[in-house]
């Protein structure tokens, strides 16, 4: 989805007074101890072609659970929004480090009522995908939870479980143009005028279904801050076994590697952030379980929704995916930062299908406002270019 934020000033003006306790020198004016937990409300107001205007409310709770210097800041994020055309999202996301970082909990519970463009399965060129653009409506419920235990400094090992339920799936007649307007149907028997989801040869799951999986996950995490790292690295390795033994309608395995690195360059005011992500599947993968390129704000942790800003949500989807992105973050003045980013990626049925000509690119620039200095919590406002240019507004960095 492409989000177009319309409200920032009211949020900033109404909240700055509450943040003063976190500013340098504020503690000298009061005998109260510094706050360990901060709650940040965030109004949500946006517009997108598919859904019309949308509005809602989000919130972030950030702080440390331990008194030691080892435990990093945990955060809990909640958001709800609805739109003119009755789409909605209710989402709860958490990243929790227990005192002393003995345990690491990460996950989400989300409900979506979606109205999205479907472009087809595969890595086809944008012009081919655009001619396939069709509306797809469905509801989605997700539980994705991981529980890991510390096994060494900055290293965690544990299990992850994920349940995804796709239901009330409906297609709309015909196809739509780039503006979201219906293309008139002159021949109902012409496959080139039918909703592409109903005829895509790579889609054979046109009904309600569930996927359910469990598997091991290993994490090495030396980042200083989870929501806005300035140094350190992350290596996350996971395998997810989806099968009827745990309630899934489809049997398949997902293998994922997520590698990130953060480091200052030139000075402590300039941060280089790098990420590589690979998702690989074996077995019978349903269309919604495939790996996908394309970012959105209401996406899931499992599908890495902050990848490839500037490309529509899962515009390119298939069984195998590799993508990389780089972002340069520069402190400007007071609480404001700037950023420039670039991403590349490709999907395919098999790895041997990859070609240099099939690489997709996207990038852009953005501004950051540091709401909570203590935990380095930023409001992120990006403009991205690619096959689907647009604005993105969210809490926390993209990665």
Task: Specify the range with the lowest mean pLDDT, choosing from 66-80, 117-131, 144-158, 289-303.
Answer: 289-303
pLDDT for residue 299? 47
Give me 300's structure tokens. 């899931």
Interior/surface letters 352-380, b for 16+ CB within 10 angstroms, e for the rest: eeeeeebebebbbebbbbbbbebbbbbbb
Which residue is it, tokens 């177009």? 4
Calculate the CA 282 to chain-centre distance: 23
Higher pLDDT, 121 or 16: 121
At residue 237, the 3 state secondary structure works out as strand
Q: Does residue 229 register a pLDDT over 60?
A: yes
Print burial letters for 289-327: b (CB count within 10 Å at least 16), e (below 16): bbbbbbbbbbbbbbbbbbbbbbbbbbbbbbbbbbbbbeb
| pLDDT at residue 65, rounded to an integer | 85
CB half-sphere exposure, 332, CA atoms < 13 A: 11
Three-class secondary structure of residue 244 per DSSP: helix
DSSP 278-296: EEEEEE---GGGSEEE---
Please indicate whether residue 393 or residue 264 has the higher confidence score (pLDDT): 264
Per-chain mean pLDDT for the chain: 86
Highest averaged pLDDT of the listed ranges 46-55, 143-152, 288-297? 143-152
The DSSP result for 321-385, as a single string, is EEEEEEEEEEEEETTEEEEEEEEEEEEESSGGG--GGG-EEEEEEEEEEEEETTTTEEEEEEEEE
Q: What is the mean pLDDT of residues 78-93?
A: 91
Q: Indicate whether 13 pLDDT > 70.
A: no
Q: In which element (H, E) is residue 130 found?
A: helix 126-131
10: pLDDT strictly greater than 60: no
At a CB cut-off of 8 Å and minimum separation 6, what does 359 contact? 344, 345, 346
Residue 321 tokens, joined: 């995916």
Structure confidence at residue 313 as a pLDDT band (50, 70, 90): confident
Q: Which position has the higher pLDDT, 222 or 379?
A: 222
pLDDT at residue 144 above 60? Answer: yes
Q: What is the pTM of this model?
A: 0.85
Stretch among 125-134, 177-186, 263-272, 279-288 having the lowest mean pLDDT: 177-186
Taking only the tens place, the pLDDT of each residue in 275-284 is: 999 999 999 9
Q: How much of the chain exceeds pLDDT 70, in percent?
A: 88
Query: 39-43, 156-160, 258-262: which has the minimum mean pLDDT?
Result: 39-43
Looking at residue 101, the DSSP 8-state letter turns out to be G
Question: What integer pLDDT is reported at residue 371 of this predicted model?
Answer: 80
Which pLDDT band, with edges at 50, 70 and 90, does 35 fall under?
low
Helix or strand (DSSP H, E) at 18: helix 9-19
- The whole-number pLDDT of residue 354 equals 93
Over range 318-327, report the average pLDDT.
96
Residue 3 scores a pLDDT above 60: no
Question: 21-35, 39-53, 181-195, 356-370: which has the minimum mean pLDDT?
Answer: 21-35
**Percentage helix, strand, coil for the chain under 3-state DSSP, each rounded to 5:** 10, 55, 35
Tell me how far apart the terminal alpha carbons of the chain are, to the nearest angstrom: 18
Q: Provide the pLDDT for residue 303.
A: 53
Residue 38 above 90 pLDDT?
no
Distance CA 97, CA 102 (A): 8
**Residue 126 predicted with pLDDT over 90:** yes
Closest residue by Cα to residue 42 from 75, 86, 85, 2: 75
Lowest mean pLDDT among 59-63, 100-104, 285-289: 59-63
User: Where is pLDDT greater, at 188 or 148?
Assistant: 148
Band of pLDDT at residue 207, cut at 50, 70 and 90 = confident
Residue with the bigger pLDDT between 373 and 169: it is 169
Tokens of 187: 């021949």
DSSP track, 95-118: EEE-GGG-EEEEEEEEEEEEEEEE
Per-residue confidence (pLDDT) for residue 305, from 0 to 100: 55
Cβ contacts of 232 within 8 Å, gap of 6 or more: 221, 222, 223, 224, 261, 262
Residue with the bigger pLDDT between 21 and 104: it is 104
If you average pLDDT over residues 335-350, what whole number do you get? 96
Residue 6 above 60 pLDDT? no
| Residue 5: per-residue pLDDT | 44
């Amino acid at each position: 989805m492409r989000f177009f934020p319309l409200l920032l000033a009211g949020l900033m003006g109404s909240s700055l007074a509450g943040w003063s306790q976190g500013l340098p020198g504020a503690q000298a004016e009061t005998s109260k101890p510094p706050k360990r937990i901060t709650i940040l409300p965030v109004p949500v107001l946006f517009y997108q072609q598919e859904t019309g205007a949308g509005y809602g409310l989000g919130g972030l709770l950030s702080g440390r659970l331990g008194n030691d210097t080892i435990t990093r800041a945990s955060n809990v994020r909640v958001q709800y929004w609805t739109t003119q055309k009755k789409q909605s999202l209710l989402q709860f996301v958490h990243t929790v480090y227990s005192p002393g970082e003995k345990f690491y909990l990460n996950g989400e519970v989300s409900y979506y009522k979606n109205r999205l463009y479907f472009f087809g399965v595969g890595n086809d060129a944008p012009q081919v995908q655009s001619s396939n653009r069709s509306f797809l409506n469905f509801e989605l419920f997700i539980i994705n939870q991981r529980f890991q235990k510390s096994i060494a400094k900055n290293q965690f090992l544990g299990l992850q479980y994920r349940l995804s339920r796709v239901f009330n799936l409906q297609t709309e007649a015909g196809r739509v143009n780039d503006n979201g307007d219906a293309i008139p149907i002159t021949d109902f028997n012409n496959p080139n005028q039918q909703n592409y989801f109903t005829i895509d040869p790579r889609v054979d799951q046109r009904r309600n279904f569930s996927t359910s999986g469990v598997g091991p996950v290993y994490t090495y995490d030396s980042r200083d801050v989870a929501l806005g790292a300035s140094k350190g690295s992350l290596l996350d390795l996971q395998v997810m076994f989806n099968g009827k033994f745990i309630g899934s309608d489809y049997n398949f395995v997902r293998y994922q590697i997520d590698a990130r690195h953060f480091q200052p360059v030139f000075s402590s005011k300039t941060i280089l952030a790098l990420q590589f992500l690979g998702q690989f599947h074996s077995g019978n993968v349903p269309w919604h379980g495939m790996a996908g390129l394309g970012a959105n704000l209401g996406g899931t942790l499992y599908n890495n929704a902050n990848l490839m800003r500037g490309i529509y949500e899962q515009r390119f989807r298939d069984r195998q995916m590799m993508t990389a992105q780089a972002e340069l973050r520069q402190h400007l003045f007071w609480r404001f930062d700037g950023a420039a980013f670039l991403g590349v990626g490709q999907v395919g049925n098999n790895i041997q299908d990859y070609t240099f000509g099939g690489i997709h690119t996207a990038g852009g620039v953005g501004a950051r406002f540091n709401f909570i200095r203590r935990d380095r919590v930023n409001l992120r406002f990006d403009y991205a270019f690619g096959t689907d240019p647009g604005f993105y507004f969210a809490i926390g960095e993209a990665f």
